[in-house]
Each structure stands twice: as C-alpha cells, then as structure tokens.
Chain A
Amino acid sequence: MEAVAQQIPLEHFLVLSAILFSIGVYGVLTRRNAVLIIMSVELMLNAASINMVAFAAYTSPAAFTGIIFAIFIITIAAAEVGLALAIILRIFRNRGTANVDEVNALKW
C-alpha cells in the first residue's frame, strides 16, 4: 500500500474526482426526474469524498481528518436521501408526477 503514493501522483485522484463531479453536474442539469437528480447528486458527493480521502492520505497522514470528513459526508448523504425520497413520494402522491418542471406551484 505504501508504494501507491510513489506510483500514482495526487493529481490523478483529483482529476478523477473532477471528472466524476462534472458528470454529476451534467446529470443534475439535464435529468428532469427527481429521483435521477438525487442519483447525480450522490455522484457529486462521492467525487468530493474522493478528494477528501486523497488529501488526507497524501498531505496529512497523521491527522486523517479527511477520512473523518468522508464518514460524515456518507452519514449526511444517507439522511439527505431518506428525506428527499419522502418529499418526492409526497409530491408524487399529491400531484401525480416526479417531473421537477411540473412542480411549479410556487412560481408566479
């Protein structure tokens, strides 16, 4: 395991994370189904977690704060998905759609 850092520079992990994040952004911008938007948000959260863990491993191995951060990110993501899906179910029951463009009751 110790040899990994000499063979793979930190930048490789950062570029992978940037690509995954941009894919997530594309998904959030194009998908109109609320559940699929949540999936793209999960991709973006994972990209951020890769950054955290890579920085923890490369720049401050003794403190490993990044790993603790990633654990909290996963916890909050679980809470977020549970709550978001409850809201989507409620919207679906009231309005019969999961299309975010049709949920425009607050729009003038």
Chain B
Amino acid sequence: MTVAQGIFYLIAALAVAGGLGVVLARNTVYAALFLILALLAVAGIYILLASEFLALVQVLIYAGAITVLLLFALMLTRVGDLEETMVGAQWPLAVVASILLVGLLITTIATSDWPGDADGMITRIPFETLGEALFRQWAVPFEIASLVLLIALVGAIVLARDEEGDVEEAE
C-alpha cells in the first residue's frame, strides 16, 4: 500500500466514523461534533483530489459557520422529550433501506465502466483560473446564488424575529 492510499483509507475511515457518529450518537451535541469530524474528513478528500480552494471553503463555511449555526439551533430548541426524538420507531426498516441503497450503489459503481482513468493524472486548478471561471463563464449562476443567499437570510430574519404586529393585536 502506498502513502497516498494509506492517507485515503485513513481519511475515508474518519469520514465514515464521523457520519456514523452523526446518525447514532445519543447526545445531540456529540452528533454535531461528529458532524465536524465528518466535514473535516471530506475537506481532506478534497485536498487529495487537488482542490485546495474547496477544502478551505469546506473548513471555513461547513465545519466553522454551519456547525456553529446547528449548535445554536440545538441550544435554542432544548426540550424535555429530546431523548425520545433521537431514534424513531421505524429504525429497523431504515437500516434495511440504507443497506439496500448502499449495496445497489456499490454494485452499480463496480459494474460500470468509468471514463477518464487512462492517463491517471490529476491537474491542480490554480486559484486564479478558478476565480476567473467563476466570474466570467459562471457569472450569471454566481449572481443568482448570491441573490438566493440574500433572500434566504432576509427570510430567515423575518421568520425568526418576534412579530410586533401580533403583540399590538393582542393588546
């Protein structure tokens, strides 16, 4: 086994362990911390695939911002029935469904003939090339994505704040 393979299997094992922790942990905060482990492992996969920019974005936005947001939501919705909301009654069916799904996917992957393996080279995309493509070729999707973010955040503020109109009507 070469060094690259060893690193890949280590990172893959970390990602799968983190994922299992997210869905199996009995404590919600532990589940969020396992999610950070899985997301950081995915960032490692991105680095193996020579996409440093994505790895940086993954660490900053996913492992940093989104997980903090999730932890805040967990804190703000602390309720007494937390324990019984951890696992639903239909979990044996879910086990069967997800094992069938992973079996189906892996059989498909193993039996399919994937193109592009011949030369065996991964080219590193420099930040400049990526930025130029993002702001020239993909400028319209980029602007639409920023509009989606703006609308989603304004919507989130409107949804989450206390409505003053309701209080006045009540009085």
| A97-B86 contact given A4-B48, A16-B15, A26-B23, CB 8 Å threshold | no
Complex CA gap A18/B19 in Å reads 12
Could you say which residues of chain B place their CB within 8 Å of the CB of A92? Answer: 76-77, 79
Interface, chain A (partner B; CB < 8 A): 1-16, 18-27, 29-36, 38-40, 42-43, 46, 49-50, 53-54, 56-62, 64, 67-68, 70-72, 74-83, 85-90, 92, 96-99, 101
A18 touches B105 (CB 8 A): yes
Interface of A is mostly: helix
Interface, chain B (partner A; CB < 8 A): 2, 4-5, 8, 12, 15-16, 19-20, 22-23, 28, 31-32, 35, 38-39, 42, 45-46, 48-51, 53-54, 57-58, 61-62, 65-66, 69-70, 72-74, 76-77, 79, 81-82, 84-88, 90-91, 93-95, 97-99, 101-102, 105-106, 109-110, 114-117, 120-125, 129-130, 133-134, 138, 141, 145, 148-149, 152-153, 155-157, 159-160
A67 touches B130 (CB 8 A): yes
A30 touches B102 (CB 8 A): no
Complex CA gap A64/B114 in Å reads 17
Residue of B19, B50, B57, B66 with most chain A CB atoms under a 10 A cut-off: B19
Q: How far is the CB of A85 from chain B (nearest CB, A)?
A: 4
Complex CA gap A20/B23 in Å reads 11
Q: How far is the CB of B54 from chain A (nearest CB, A)?
A: 6
Could you say which residues of chain B place their CB within 8 Å of the CB of A35? Answer: 28, 70, 73-74, 77
Which B residue's beta carbon lies closest to that of A9? B117
A85 touches B109 (CB 8 A): no
| A5-B120 contact given A10-B114, A21-B105, A89-B76, CB 8 Å threshold | yes
Could you say which residues of chain A place their CB within 8 Å of the CB of B106? Answer: 15, 18
A20 touches B148 (CB 8 A): no
A40 touches B122 (CB 8 A): no
